Amino acid sequence: MLFADDTQLYIAFKRKSDAQSRIEACIDEIRVWMRENLLVLNDSKTEVIHFTSKFKAANKLESLRVGSSEVSSVPLVRNLGVYFDQSGLMDENINQICKSASFGLWKIGRIRRLLNRTLTERLVHAFITSRLDYCNALLNGLSKTALHPLQTIQNAAARMITRSRRHEHITPILYDLHWLPIHQRITFKILITAFKCIHGMAPSYLSELITPRVPKRALRSKPFTLVPRNTNNKKHYGPTAFSVAAPDLWNELPPGIR
């Protein structure tokens, strides 16, 4: 993956010895290409992370050779503003979202008495909702317990807008604001992305992950369903991927909505 000032290498493997030699060879080739184009590879800014199950720590990739230095594997990296941990639990990312959103709530709360409801809601969308929704599709598959801190932030923001008390039930408040709860916002984001993939409004690298179902014979009505991906073990991380979750969620929608 190439970005403006960053290059990321990905590899899936079962034996870490093969992966280590392949990645190191690739890095050496990149270094040669950069030297020929009068560029320098910054070894000090290179990070390595091995995503694996927490139950398979014995097969963990410990380090990689980058030039003349040895870069150790780290348990946490930040990529495009999202924190990824090596076990895929996303706990640190949720903590960082809550930290920044709580600070936004505190700042809005200090001037809430000077604002009307419309301006307050606008500020909440700018400083809180935008953080709750950013890359939230990556949280797909997490339990409601894991998502509870984010739901607490959303509830506090809703009460601030409507000037509701703590003991008031939150469901009518969210309904009044036309807000979906956190776990439904994640599903909504995945379905919106699937809709864009189906109708040619998404990048090709996303559209290639799903396949519309083509009926074997001509039908009077178009079902607009997607071909599901079979996963052997529902306990692994595979079912949370977009290529697996999007067809399942899309096919569960009522035909009229599809």
Which two structure tokens, joined as six digits, stand for 156?
């506090």
Write the pLDDT tens digit of every residue in 29-59.
Answer: 988 998 899 988 888 788 889 888 777 766 7
Mean pLDDT (the chain) is: 88
* pLDDT recorded at residue 214: 77
* pLDDT recorded at residue 120: 96
**How many CA within 13 A on the CB side of residue 253?**
20
Which two structure tokens, joined as six digits, stand for 132?
């709750």
pTM for the model stands at 0.85
* pLDDT recorded at residue 39: 86
* pLDDT recorded at residue 222: 61
* pLDDT recorded at residue 232: 60
* pLDDT recorded at residue 233: 56
The answer to whether 231 and 179 are in contact (CB under 8 A) is: no
Domain ranges of the chain: 16-74, 89-179, 200-252
Q: Which amino acid is at 234?
A: K
The answer to whether 64 and 24 are in contact (CB under 8 A) is: yes
* pLDDT recorded at residue 97: 96
Mean pLDDT, 10 residues at a time, over the chain (258 residues)? 82 81 88 89 84 74 82 89 89 95 95 95 96 94 92 96 92 95 96 93 92 74 77 66 92 88
The answer to whether 109 and 160 are in contact (CB under 8 A) is: yes
* pLDDT recorded at residue 240: 84
CB count within 10 Å of CB 119 equals 14
